[in-house]
Every structure is written in structure tokens, then in C-alpha cells.
Amino acid sequence: MNKNNIHVVKEKFALALENHQNNNLIVAKNLYNKILKINPNYIDAINNLGLVFQGLGELQKAINCYEKAIKIDPNYIHSQFNLGNTLNSLKEYQKSISCYERAIEIDPNFKDAINNLGVAFKELGEYQKSISCYERAIEIDPN
């Protein structure tokens, strides 16, 4: 990627992020897609496009984005976590547990992943595991 493209991608990403944060999801989606035409492996854009699709209720497209990001970098914690959240919302708790566990393996103090792991365990009726997760999350961040 040449220097001009790097500058264009950075500008478009900042604009996409701003629109995303302001809930202008269609504009953000279009910008993330433009970025990915220039740099198809821009992992932050792929992950954020997944979040946009999730916000639009297009969960399979969100899953595809997260899986693509994970394929590029298996240690990309945000896509591991977001994939877990999407699978959790689809009531695919066993699959979401694997994602949360992988995120926690990457960062053992990732309290949101630990908390959501507890939610998934609770939904499966594994209450002791759920309680352990909640206690661990509180231990990391009492607030």
C-alpha cells in the first residue's frame, strides 16, 4: 500500500468510526467497505464492519466479519469477544463459550469476556461456573 493509500485509509477510518459512534450505521458500513477495497486485511475495519452488521441485525454477516478477522489474526481479542457476543445473542451458548475462553486466554483479565462467559454458563444451567465467572470479573473490577 502506498503512502497516499495509507493516508486515505486513515482518514476514511476516522470518519467511519465517527459515524459508527454516532449510530450512522449505513454511512459507517459504506466507509468500512471502501477501506476494505483498498486494504482487504485491515483488521480493525473488518471487526468494526462486523459491529455495524450486528447493529443492523445482520448477524450472519457480522459472524463472517469476525471469523475473517480471526483468520487473519487468531489473537485479535476484539473479534473473539464480538463473535462470542453474536453467538450468545443467537443462543449458541456452547460456541460463544469457546470464543470467550479464547479471549480470556489472550487476556486473562478481560473482565467483559469473563462476565459474558458467566452469562453463557448461566443460560446453559451451569450455575456454579457462572458464579465463578461473575466473582472473577468482580475481583478484577469491583465497580
Residue 2's pLDDT is what?
72
Residue 6's pLDDT is what?
86
Q: Please give the mean pLDDT across all residues of the chain.
A: 96
pLDDT in tens, 101-110: 999 999 999 9
pLDDT in tens, 113-122: 999 999 999 9
Residue 1's pLDDT is what?
62
pTM: predicted TM-score of the whole model, two decimal places: 0.93
- Predicted confidence (pLDDT) at residue 13 exceeds the cutoff of 90: yes
**SS3 letters for the chain?**
CCHHHHHHHHHHHHHHHHHHHCCCHHHHHHHHHHHHHHCCCCHHHHHHHHHHHHHCCCHHHHHHHHHHHHHHCCCCHHHHHHHHHHHHHCCCHHHHHHHHHHHHHHCCCCHHHHHHHHHHHHHCCCHHHHHHHHHHHHHHCCC
pLDDT in tens, 61-102: 999 999 999 999 999 999 999 999 999 999 999 999 999 999
